[in-house]
Amino acid sequence: MSRIAYVNGRYRPHGEAMVHVEDRGFQFSDGVYEVCEVRGGRLVDERRHMARLKRSLDALRIALPMSSAALSIVLRETVRRNRVRDGIVYLQVTRGAARRDHAFPPAGTAPGIVVTARTLDPGRGERLAAEGIAVITVPDNRWGRVDIKSVLPNVLAKQAAREQGAREAWFVDAQGFVTEGSSSNAWIVTPGGAVVTRPADHGILSGIARAVVLDTVAAQGLTLIERAFTAKEAQAAREAFVTAASQIVQPVVRIDGKPVGDGRPGPVATALRREFHRHAELS
């Protein structure tokens, strides 16, 4: 089946879906994006993804290129045209195409928008969750506004992880605390059973899956502590895991080559993964 992408007002065959060479997303990474899970053909937590998109756009002073209602229709139409039942829908909004200049383009330059959707094999996520994933740690050398969903050090960090046989890289700040993963939020379960994750300040992206897991943790009566933790503490933790819209909850079983707990996915991460969609919104 041929894939379809939405590009600046038109649905195009994937292979012909192009943005202009002067699009500022291409030239400067001058844009923001969202990745929303699709489940049973419906969007998971669309409302929260749209709220975060607006926050990111406001912070970068980029206009939403269409009304929220129209955007919601485009997201659904892209999912429908690609016949995605379980997968993701991706959207990127850029500051538009204009003659290359670091400063913002003239007022009235239309923002650019791209939407794609693709099927993800649910079995693959389940297989990974059954085995657990490895992460490595890297210095957090990103800019000071990582709460805006926009990225390049993340790409380098993820590649470093892949080259070392791991699936994710955890950024570590100058004080030695883990901030987040290159495309996920980071969590541990302490030896005492408390679930710990860093507060959603400017040091991390406030993940939508993170918000869902906070609700899931509360519903399960688990103790939650929002505080920073070091990679060393994580290695000595009972469990560790990551969250992201595209991964839900993935247990982490190795950090920088050292096993976490007994080196297998733990019961807390497994239960949070199982219960996740009870606490997510479908629309």
Q: Which residues bind ligand PDD (CB under 6 A)?
A: 35, 154, 180, 183-185, 205, 207-210, 243-246
In the bound state with ligand PDD, the residue whose beta carbon lies nearer, of 179 and 235, is 179
Q: How far is the CB of 273 from ligand PDD (least distance, A)?
A: 13
In the bound state with ligand PDD, the residue whose beta carbon lies nearer, of 89 and 205, is 205
Phi, psi for 171 (deg, rounded to 5): -75, 140
Q: How far is the CB of 192 from ligand PDD (least distance, A)?
A: 26
Do residues 195 and 223 touch, judged by C-beta distance below 8 A? Answer: yes
Do residues 136 and 258 touch, judged by C-beta distance below 8 A? Answer: no
Would you call 54 a catalytic residue per the annotation? no
Interatomic CA distance for residues 64 and 67, integer angstroms: 7
Q: How far is the CB of 210 from ligand PDD (least distance, A)?
A: 5
Phi, psi for 158 (deg, rounded to 5): -65, -40
Do residues 252 and 132 touch, judged by C-beta distance below 8 A? Answer: yes
Do residues 193 and 223 touch, judged by C-beta distance below 8 A? Answer: yes
In the bound state with ligand PDD, the residue whose beta carbon lies nearer, of 169 and 268, is 169
**List of residues 6+ apart from 49 with CB closer than 8 A:** 34, 36, 43, 208, 245
Q: How far is CA 36 from CA 132, 243, 280, in A?
A: 23, 13, 12
Identify residue 107 by its one-letter amino acid code: A
Counting Cα atoms < 13 Å in the Cβ hemisphere of 110 gives: 10
Q: How far is the CB of 242 from ligand PDD (least distance, A)?
A: 8
Query: Which alpha helices (H) appear in the chain, and where do they start and end?
Result: 24-28, 46-60, 68-81, 122-131, 153-163, 208-219, 231-235, 267-275
Token duo for residue 278: 């009870």
In the bound state with ligand PDD, the residue whose beta carbon lies nearer, of 234 and 245, is 245
Given 149, 158, 232, 258, the catalytic residue = 149
In the bound state with ligand PDD, the residue whose beta carbon lies nearer, of 97 and 216, is 216
Would you say how long the chain is, in residues?
A: 283
Give the residue closest to ligand PDD by C-beta: 207
Q: How far is the CB of 154 from ligand PDD (least distance, A)?
A: 6
Q: For strand 133-139 and strand 168-172, is the pairing parallel, antiparallel, or unpaired?
A: parallel
Q: How far is the CB of 183 from ligand PDD (least distance, A)?
A: 4
In the bound state with ligand PDD, the residue whose beta carbon lies nearer, of 22 and 155, is 155
Catalytic positions, please? 149
